[in-house]
Chain A
Amino acid sequence: NAGVMQNPRHLVRRRGQEARLRCSPMKGHSHVYWYRQLPEEGLKFMVYLQKENIIDESGMPKERFSAEFPKEGPSILRIQQVVRGDSAAYFCASSSRDRDEKLFFGSGTQLSVL
């Protein structure tokens, strides 16, 4: 009974490189959320996606960040031209249906920008 799967677990990038974070929701879940946890800060909402649709991206930085959840395959959070301030833990969560706010989180990707 696999939970929310995220990979990689740790990702190291140099400034200016691209980071791609992957998330496969729990079986039967079609709603995916990305959250970011900066050092010494709480979890912050970034984006909410359903298959092939971005429902709410109000928490996404305006530049360099994008997310997708294609019809087939995992959800991808993409960060272009990373900067040191992007270093954080990125968590993906999923839920089973509309209006179900009980989110189940993956183990996260720790992004370190050198």
Chain B
Amino acid sequence: QKEVEQNSGPLSVPEGAIASLNCTYSDRGSQSFFWYRQYSGKSPELIMFIYSNGDKEDGRFTAQLNKASQYVSLLIRDSQPSDSATYLCAVSAGGTSYGKLTFGQGTILTVHP
């Protein structure tokens, strides 16, 4: 069983729509949750992080965390073609494992005009 699972996609949405990216994790002790965006051939870029249950909004991005269901999601409102990238969900157990993130395989998002 994979520790962090994401919809492999690809996910295709029209410009202006809401893109919904999902991630589940297996370690109930996970403390910190991150979303990275990675353009093809580039490095991962941190776009959101969330530590507590509920929603966290930053501009067009909203991260949602439900620890009981071991589920974290990323919503992108008013999607733009420039949002087309691979989105990586990452989870940390914290404790002595700070910075030791477990990444999902990534979801490829395509926003078409």
Q: A and B from one assembly?
A: yes
State A99–B92 Cα separation when bound (angstroms).
11
B99 within 8 A of A: yes
Give chain B nearest CB distance to A11 CB in angstroms.
15
Q: Are A48 and B106 in contact (CB under 8 A)?
A: no
B82-103 interface bits toward A, Cβ cutoff 8 Å, 1 = contact, 0 = none: 0000001010101011111111
The answer to whether B104 touches A42 (Cβ under 8 A) is yes
Chain B's interface size range is 20 to 34
A-B contact list, 17 entries, CB within 8 Å: A31-B99, A42-B103, A42-B104, A43-B90, A43-B103, A48-B99, A56-B99, A59-B100, A95-B99, A98-B98, A99-B98, A102-B34, A103-B99, A104-B46, A105-B36, A105-B43, A106-B43
B residues near A, CB below 8 A?
Answer: 4, 32, 34, 36, 42-46, 49, 88, 90, 92, 94, 96-106
